[in-house]
Amino acid sequence: MTTHPFDAAVTALSRNAWLPSGEEVALGKEFFQRRDALQQRLLPGMPPCPDPQGWVTQHVFWLEDVVGVIDGLLAAWRGYLPDSHMVALLDGYAHQARPTVPYAADLRRAWDAEDFTHCSVEEAGLWEEWHVPETERQALDALTQRLIPIGAMLVAAVDRGEAAL
């Protein structure tokens, strides 16, 4: 039975069988730098959310942007690190977040169909309640929860590799 590259990376890191190379550390650090620099995007005409966590749509767009960051990094790095566990971890992270990409497009289309030039906080809240129903919110929460351990593995890999440099 073949082990999936993501599972092999998690196992290798957990068992201290993988010490990330300088290139792998550089890739992981670049991912975190780019991810941390992402801005929360609003739909055009949508007011800022009074809740510090922002609108649900902002989180969907942020996850879409994270997938874009990873896809760009892997396009540039995969050739240099073809069998890298760091590549496998990033691939796993993008795989988990990828369902938000078509969902973000659906939300943009729905917003554009409303032809908002601007709206109130209340209108934005009602729009989200209608277009991001509870089942979608729960699915998004579950997806986000699945990303947390992958992110923790990425942090551990970067930290372990950095400590050895």
Measure the CA angle with vertex 102, ends 79 and 109; round to 5°: 135
pLDDT of residue 147: 94
**Which residue type, as a one-letter code, is found at position 71?**
D
CA distance 102 to 85: 27
The per-residue pLDDT for range 89-141, each reduced to its tens digit, is 999 999 999 999 999 999 999 999 988 778 999 999 999 999 999 999 999 99
Q: Which domain holds residue 18?
A: 5-164
Structural domain count, the chain: 1
Residue 83 contacts residue 18 (beta carbons within 8 Å):
no
Is the pLDDT reported for residue 3 higher than 70?
no
CB atoms within 10 A of CB 85: 23
Measure the CA angle with vertex 18, ends 80 and 97; round to 5°: 65
